[in-house]
Amino acid sequence: MLAVRCISQSSTDPLSGLSIAEVPPPDPPDGWVRVNLRACALNHHDLWSLKGVGLDPSRLPMTLGCDGAGVLDDGTEVVIHSVIGDPEAGQGDETLDPRRTLLSELHQGTLAEQVIVPLRNLVPKPQALTWEEAACMPSAWLTAYRMLTTRSGLDGPGNVLVQGAGGGVATAAIQLGVALGHRVFCTSRDPQKRARSLGLGAELALASGERFPEKMDLVIETVGDATWEHSLRSLRPGGRIVVSGATSGANPPADLNRVFFLQLSVVGSTMGTREELLQLLEFMVASDVRPVIDEVRPLAEARQAFERLQAGSGFGKQVFKV
């Protein structure tokens, strides 16, 4: 079968370790099942793996990918939940299991024609979603959904700032935030991405670092160093930042004086539970929201998609049709 793998790692030239090649098909052990993928999608997590972050070199070669949807051998159509963990070990939340992993960290990932996963890591694919749309759900969209619901601290509509419009999580957060009834604001260095964000329902889109006319209840932060100071300064007293990534760097000045004086909250968020994925899929169908897909390519053209992700030139998800 064809698979997109990390065969070596480099912080300066990550794509040098990218391989697209035929590999033996997987054989599921007891309690696991084979999924014949129909579509899969790319995430920054895959680029970090190639850079040597989060993927132990002893695990190489590793098939990349956390996003996917496909068909079981019996014809059942499914979406893959890529958090491999024990809910009981996380007090009912598998993302809090100290030993939890994502597909492509310990177990082979979804950028392939087939993948094997535990049976509990499957949810039914809604008929209303295309294969490409369904494949966008398990990582970026689930991450954004958890950030806006479980981790947001909001009881009702509020002012939500999404930093770095254009990325997978940020684009999902804009669309979901609007659909959930929030007033959504966003930033981007790219004027075209700001314009497209307004088309998704954002109320105001400014260049990165510019001051908004109103304070925010919640900031969705995935950028890190480049936007952190702006995120803190944008919050109202008692406001909250939910952070799920740091694509520009993970060690900005904390500005603890501002945090304690304004009683701000900084909350981490990683992926989501199987139950949250079910809720997200139900919400997508009920609200008629659909993910923005930047490009759809065959799996054999994965390198071009990685190049586009690395350059930051896309808007929305990079998806592969299998």
For 156-194, the pLDDT digits (tens) are 999 999 999 998 999 999 999 999 999 999 999 999 999
- 63 with 112: CB under 8 angstroms? yes
Q: Do domains 2-139+273-321 and 151-268 have the same CATH topology?
A: no
Please state which CATH class domain 151-268 belongs to.
alpha beta
What confidence score (pLDDT) does residue 274 get?
98
Predicted confidence (pLDDT) per residue in 52-77, tens digit: 999 999 999 999 999 999 999 999 99
Per residue in 214-225, pLDDT tens?
999 999 999 999
Percent of the chain with pLDDT over 70: 100
pLDDT at 40: 98
- Residue 157: per-residue pLDDT: 97
Q: Which of 247, 228, 229 has the alpha carbon at shortest distance from 311?
A: 247
8 A C-beta contact, residue 160 and residue 231: no
Say what the pTM is.
0.96
pLDDT of residue 178: 98
Q: What is the structure's pLDDT at 197?
A: 97
Extents of the domains making up the chain: 2-139+273-321, 151-268
- For domain 2-139+273-321, the CATH superfamily is Medium-chain alcohol dehydrogenases, catalytic domain (3.90.180.10)
Residues of the chain where predicted confidence (pLDDT) is lower than 70: none
Rounded to the nearest 5°, which phi and psi values hold at 228?
Answer: -60, -50
Q: Which three-class secondary structure state does DSSP give residue 282?
A: helix
d(CA 163, CA 216): 12
C-alpha neighbours within 13 Å on the C-beta side of residue 245: 24
Number of neighbouring beta carbons within 10 Å of residue 149: 16
What value, to the nearest 5°, has the Cα angle with vertex 31 and ends 38 and 57? 70
The amino acid present at 155, given as its one-letter code, is D
pLDDT of residue 170: 96
Distance (Å, whole) CA 93 – CA 170: 24
Confidence at residue 147, expressed as pLDDT on a 0 to 100 scale: 98
Find the largest Cα–Cα distance for the chain: 58
